[in-house]
Chains A and B, each alone.
Chain A
């Protein structure tokens, strides 16, 4: 790992202030007030629906008139066409309230959605198309950096919001001994976590508690808790099976008792809650190079753990983690892309084009094995030649992606 101090403070031309202290985090092109005379698009927000009056708009300032006719607080989101990266959001729309939300949108494809109680999966996803000419932006690097950070913070919050209910359902099934249901939920419960793993890892003891594999916990003398201990209970080893380090899988291992299962389930839920609190804290922020290094770090996760099949040693759901890491990396890349192209000079656009192409190729390759909704081929059925093909494409992406931070910092 890099031994240098973070270059953001020392070298970056972009002085990243304590953004969170400025209270209002501006997402991309957020404008505080609707322009006079503009027509607005009505959005009917209910607990289980998110109906946008028209699915198209002209590029420029687009105003949504949000009405919450549901029973509890809600949130309106505009997502990039990956359905993950947050282009704009309006939080805390309370029942009975109608509020205008204005956002600057470039031509392109978007997804609109709401988020009931501001957690969990977005509700009522719908395509939204913006047509017309691109708005000529005269944004300076500082502004782009601020927007990137605000967008990525919103994304992190949305992912912990999805993580909490997914983990709760999985943990409950596991604690209740409903192994079949827990096995079905295991891979999906990990997805939001795998998308933002570098952030969780930044909180020191959280990642070891949530996501350590048996061999790592053993090596560091930690109590083994979290996803992977539960995984081994759900896919128990047979006599003669080996751990990823070649040790007897049954050595010093026994199935967790019902009491232990309850404690492990509660512990995972509590850890995930703590992660959410940390990410949602007013004073939590990160820098643009944290975002770009996060993208690089997620690819390293794939190259180091997923390609080898060591991550999900018993469930063989490695490709789900793999896909989630790649999604998370692509969101982080998309978040800083405009900044990179502005700060990085002429070379930068060639590089970002290349990165895009290699992301496309990797996603296409992964799609041959399934998807996150329907599930992926178990990794023990992916042969050595196929693993090498995946590894080659990870390398093809990771090499140019490794240049991203220098571009973002304009160095």
Chain B
């Protein structure tokens, strides 16, 4: 099990070994309706996939009722990409792209290279199917999660490019403007998104790079974001990490073990919305630049008052330990923890899955860094409710700028032999 090639059963059907790039282009050219590209791609899914073994050996099943990468214990690294469909893309091409992405994602999450020829086994006269930088690396807990933006169903000026307007989930509307937003168009929106999370950044980047390559001619990257460290725990087995303000973040986050709360807050239930979204969720992405230098000059007691927690242990300022419930009557009124608390937000809990990011330094030499906030919720309106509570009042806003924003419908999981396109196109 030391190499990617050694992983997973061989001797599968040709489909399971993946399509060559040539095959992909052919499909994209003629439309691939009815071709079960994902067929057999998940042969290994039934095998034991627990996260035991050496570091990086974690492997999460690609197929299932829900997509991986939501309640999966938050991996350490992120590469997130938002795509726009090409101006001349057709519904057949979109379907072919989703089929090809399904096949590639099913392979990569098992630690296998993209395509029949992989990185080195194709003809020497052709560019390899797989770009190769993940060769010899284990799956590293890679999950690939897909989402659909409102513009996929209908453009801002009401054009139904792919005949999908009637299938649009009612809940999928662009987020409203929040007080203090400083959104930049180049970091906002998108027709499709891919969230690739892994414990090895090379594996996450490899995933987005190869999916981007498959999309050339059909969809192009609109924006992308690397996250170098998780800021949330989504399992009780995980330690609470710190954000770039130096505080433990996500202490009270939803955890995978809270199965009832997950059902209540994260997954779209039958009857909530269009039937094909049942078992799915909604993803909100916010690129939040932190004004690091100013924060670092703030005295400790004020930092703690702004957050509402003790910096060393993460205990609420109302007393106790990290996991003690805060006393909202005692916390500073404008503290972040208080304003985000479910008790002040109709009981709403978001599943947060954000990452610390840095894009280097800006033109003034300041650290260009912050939080790439990701949250999953049953309805985007739940995020809106919480963010409205924060936007006008949170003491933390002085140190934040929301510069990017997007919302995506996250479809349910793909069953074995299925494709992303099945649920979307019905």
Contacts and interface: CB of A to CB of B under 8 A. Distances in A.
Nearest to B20: A347
A361 B124 contact: no
Q: How large is the interface on A (under 10, 10 to 19, 20 to 34, 35 or more residues)?
A: 20 to 34
B337 to A, nearest CB: 41
Interface string B1-37: 0000000000000000000111101111110000000
B88 interface: yes
B29 A357 contact: yes
Contacts of B30: 350
A403 interface: yes
Contacts of A409: 123, 125
Contacts of B399: none
Nearest to A292: B125
B131 to A, nearest CB: 12
B220 A395 contact: yes
A406 B125 CA distance: 5
Nearest to B218: A396
A184 interface: no
A403 B218 CA distance: 17
Interface in A356-411: 357-358, 361, 392, 395-400, 402-403, 405-407, 409, 411
A351 interface: yes
B216 A347 contact: no
Given A392-B86, A399-B216, A354 B25 contact: yes
Contact of B125 (A351, A358, A405): A405
A402 B29 CA distance: 16
B25 A289 contact: no
B28 A7 contact: no
A399 B217 contact: yes
A122 to B, nearest CB: 33
Contacts of A238: none
B342 interface: no
A409 B122 CA distance: 13
Nearest to B89: A396
Contacts of B26: 347, 350-351, 354
B81 to A, nearest CB: 14
Contacts of A402: 126-127
Contact of B217 (A395, A403, A406, A407): A395
A4 interface: yes
Interface string A285-296: 000010000000
A395 B126 contact: no
Contact of A403 (B29, B126, B213): B126
Contacts of A11: 123-125
Contacts, number: 69
A350 B217 CA distance: 14
Nearest to B221: A392
The interface residues of chain A, by DSSP majority, are classed as: helix
Contacts of B88: 361
Nearest to B213: A399
Most-contacted residue by chain B among A402, A403, A405 (CB, 10 A): A403
A353 interface: yes
Given A392-B220, A395-B220, A405 B28 contact: no
A8 B360 CA distance: 45
A312 B170 CA distance: 51
Interface string B383-399: 00000000000000000
A396 B29 contact: no
A11 B124 CA distance: 9
A11 B27 CA distance: 27
Contacts of A289: 125
Contacts of A353: 29
A405 B22 CA distance: 12
A411 B117 CA distance: 12
A399 B25 contact: yes
Contacts of B28: 354
B21 A403 contact: yes
A361 B87 CA distance: 11
Contact of A351 (B25, B122, B218): B25
Nearest to A8: B125
A395 B125 contact: no
B216 A403 contact: no
Contacts of B20: 347
B123 A406 contact: yes
Interface string B204-236: 000000000100111010000000000000000
Interface of B: 20-23, 25-30, 86, 88, 122-127, 213, 216-218, 220
Given A7-B125, A350-B26, A357-B29, 18 more contacts: A11-B123, A11-B124, A289-B125, A350-B29, A351-B25, A353-B29, A354-B28, A354-B217, A396-B218, A397-B217, A398-B216, A399-B216, A400-B217, A403-B22, A406-B125, A407-B22, A409-B125, A411-B125
Interface of A: 4, 7, 11, 289, 347, 350-351, 353-354, 357-358, 361, 392, 395-400, 402-403, 405-407, 409, 411
Q: Which 4 A-B pairs have the closest CB atoms?
A: A406-B126, A350-B26, A396-B217, A411-B123
26 contacts: A7-B123, A11-B125, A347-B20, A347-B22, A350-B25, A350-B26, A354-B28, A358-B217, A392-B220, A395-B216, A395-B220, A396-B216, A396-B217, A399-B213, A399-B216, A399-B217, A402-B126, A403-B25, A403-B127, A406-B123, A406-B125, A406-B126, A409-B125, A411-B124, A411-B125, A411-B126
